Amino acid sequence: MQMSLIKSAHEKGHFSVKRTEDHLINEFYIPKLKQKIEKCISNCITCILASKKQGKQEGELPLDTYHVDHLGPLESTNKNYKHILCVIDSFTKFVWLYPTKSTSSQEVISKLEFQKSVFGNPRRVISDKGIAFNSKEFDDYCSSESI
């Protein structure tokens, strides 16, 4: 009964919590009214759709921004891999791990080329100031790929 009263008062104009509370408080006593109104409004489809942001803001798209870093050195494998290049999509938090023999910019570029062949280039790459990511070769690669 209480929720139907709250829903009815809210749907008269899809009012805010405060305004819905003001409408109800004069005529009814409902314990924990504010919390119940908040719950009602959070489940209101009309309010959800009306408050939804239109489109995506720049930087809020999958595969738009990568965070990259090296892990290691680790124990060498039988193929002599000692490091892992970690690539994380900023939006989805999806992680790609690539074994590498060193932390050189050539290896980073080759792994990003592989990544590009599957997913295309990101708009930007964010990294720590590691040697591979600060090299002229990596800067030239990013410039040539419009990253």
**Same domain, yes or no: 117 and 93:** yes
Q: Does residue 56 sit within a domain? A: no
Residue pair 6/30 in contact (Cβ under 8 Å)? The answer is yes
CA-based nearest residue to 137, from 113, 115, 118:
113
Encode pLDDT of 23-37 as tens digits: 888 888 888 888 888
Q: 95-140, pLDDT tens digit by residue?
A: 999 999 999 999 999 999 999 988 888 989 999 888 888 999 989 9
Its domain, for residue 115, covers 65-145
How many structural domains are present in the chain? 2
Residue 58 pLDDT greater than 60, yes or no: no
Quick one: 37 and 73 in the same domain?
Answer: no
Q: What is the pLDDT of residue 113?
A: 92
pTM across the whole model: 0.57
Same domain as 27, residue 2: yes
Q: Is residue 59 part of a domain?
A: no
| Chain Cα centroid distance, residue 78 | 36
**Residue range 70-102, pLDDT digits in tens:** 998 999 889 999 999 999 998 889 999 999 999
Say if 60 falls within a structural domain: no
In a domain, 22, yes or no: yes
